[in-house]
Amino acid sequence: MSALSLLPARRPVPGVFVALTLTLVIGWLVVLVDGGQLFNQSTTVSLLHVAAGLGLVAVGQTLVILGGSLDLSVAYVISLSTLVAAETMNGSDGALMPAIGLALAVSAAVGLLNGLLVTKFRVNAFIATLGVGLLLKGYLDSGYDGPAGTTSPTLVQTLGYQRIGPVPLSFLLLVAVTGAAWFALSRTRFGHHLVAVGGDPEVARLSGVRNDRVLVTAHVLCSLCAGLAGIYLASRLGSGAPRVGTEGLYDLESIAAVVIGGTALAGGRGGVIGTVGGVLLLASIDAIFNQLEVDAFFKQVIRGVIIIAAVAVYARRAMRKAA
């Protein structure tokens, strides 16, 4: 059984990277014909920045989706985290560490609530995280009209804008988080249990996995990732932003990136490497369209088509394999 559940976990990974390579090559050619240059310093940097923000959320989202759950509250967690971080820092470097700690703690608490609702109260994950999202939305809407707090200058200079060559520090953070998540999924008991729970909760339970504990952990990790994304966004924006999560459509886009990356929405199959591929694909399309100065609304239409098409391709392959 373990061989069965592990094998397909690796197979979908190359698919998204083939698509990514094709997109980049075609995009590069089209931009070249258009008289631009896709891979100059500033486009690459902004591409990686976009990928870092979405990527942090999507890696966390991968964990809950693998476990057969889902998190629609991430967008609000992100906004909340930017505010907690920026308001605690209040422009001084002294409060940097406590602020980061507090933002992550608040995020983890939201994840715990999500997890408990899904497991102990048996609320469908879609409704549970939507409800928790609404709770947070009410708090954000009633408490804040606009940006609040000031991010500490050190954080802005490091996580926000520092880079090594064309690679921003934030992207390295994404690489580190992805590496940790990959390790947790493929080399630890938690990871194997999570995939088992997502594949078939009943079988997992009968094999001695404590489903509830595994799922709650996944939800806490997912919210922590969203909180981390919030801290990163606060470092970019210089303040807390009460609507940055929802306006960036981080909830739906992160789920889209996970699914494009080959993780099954029903759980039990997939991995974080594919997710990062999905994130890079979405970010590259963004960068190419920006270079071509395509209308922002048209971009969104194309985005919708690509998300559906990518998943349709996976579904076709899965069907052929099954046949």
Least distance between other proteins and beta carbon 162 (Å): 33
Three-state secondary structure string covering 198-258:
HHCHHHHHHCCCCHHHHHHHHHHHHHHHHHHHHHHHHHHHCCECCCHHHHCCHHHHHHHHH
Distance CA 10, CA 311 (A): 17
Burial class of 76 by CB neighbour count within 10 A (0 to 12, 13 to 18, 19+): buried
Least distance between other proteins and beta carbon 84 (Å): 17
Least distance between other proteins and beta carbon 155 (Å): 29
Distance CA 50, CA 167 (A): 12
Distance CA 210, CA 217 (A): 11
Looking at the Cβ atoms of 189 and 316, the one nearer to other proteins is 316
CB 165 within 8 A of CB 159: no
Looking at the Cβ atoms of 167 and 318, the one nearer to other proteins is 318
> Cβ contacts of residue 65 below 8 Å, gap of 6+?
198, 255, 258, 259, 263, 264, 265, 267, 270
Least distance between other proteins and beta carbon 101 (Å): 26
Q: Pick the closest to residue 8 from 267, 183, 284, 217 (CA basis).
A: 267
> Cβ contacts of residue 74 below 8 Å, gap of 6+?
57, 60, 61, 222, 223, 226, 245, 250, 251, 254
Least distance between other proteins and beta carbon 264 (Å): 8
Looking at the Cβ atoms of 175 and 311, the one nearer to other proteins is 311
Structure tokens at 163: 């880079």
Residues of this chain that interact with other proteins (CB under 8 A) are: 117, 121-124, 126-128, 130-135, 137-139, 141-142, 252, 255-256, 259, 265-266, 295, 297-305, 307-308, 311-312, 315-316, 318-319
Least distance between other proteins and beta carbon 232 (Å): 24
Looking at the Cβ atoms of 110 and 174, the one nearer to other proteins is 110
Distance CA 178, CA 284 (A): 19
Looking at the Cβ atoms of 52 and 117, the one nearer to other proteins is 117
Looking at the Cβ atoms of 205 and 303, the one nearer to other proteins is 303
Looking at the Cβ atoms of 63 and 159, the one nearer to other proteins is 63
Least distance between other proteins and beta carbon 216 (Å): 15
Looking at the Cβ atoms of 125 and 214, the one nearer to other proteins is 125
Least distance between other proteins and beta carbon 26 (Å): 21
Looking at the Cβ atoms of 139 and 190, the one nearer to other proteins is 139
Least distance between other proteins and beta carbon 231 (Å): 24
DSSP state of 163: E
